[in-house]
Structure 1
Amino acid sequence: MKLITLKPLYLGGKTVVEGRSFETHEQHGRELIAKGYAALDESDAEPVVTLAEEPVVSSMSLTGEQLMLTPPGAAVGDEDLAPGKAATAKKKKAT
């Protein structure tokens, strides 16, 4: 989608000043138009920046061990207590 900037935009590692032509994918272009940052460009001007399709983010699954807040063995002797309660129990024990 070919657009023209209405406000300075940082696109593809470059700052594109007002009135310059650039190309982006359809969804990004529609978002910029809706926010008032760009308008459709029907001129023959060569785009200053051409953005590739939006990169696909791969999903990564984490194991239960990676999600643990307290590393295994950190609260030795307090395994039956929930995380955070071990410190409270130690304070009570010390007094």
Structure 2
Amino acid sequence: ERVITDNAWTYRKSTAFRQAVAELGAGQRFIRPHCPWTNGKVERFNRTLQTEWAYRQVFTSNTERDHALAPWLTFYNTRRRHTALAGQPPISRLSPKS
């Protein structure tokens, strides 16, 4: 529904980014200037991504790293327990489609 980013030039001025958001059918929102805590969820995700995936093993190529990302994201969203969700994975927050 929405893509929220910080106020970096690449998000504000990039026509490619704007087009990608439009193709998703999403709205583009920005955090308030000088309020990085607004972006706390993504900052925490980036930290987890680094410690549990990017730096956990040695990748010998970008192709190898690329192939390893999708399975890790699936694990992160469907099986990894999240403290903020009372030990449930993020997928548990979605309601089943009727």
TM-score band by shorter chain is under 0.3
The TM-score, its normalising length taken from structure 1, stands at 0.21
Task: Please report the TM-score for the alignment, with normalisation by the length of structure 2.
Answer: 0.20
Return the structure number with greater strand share: 1
Structure having greater relative contact order (Cα 8 Å, sep ≥ 6)? 1
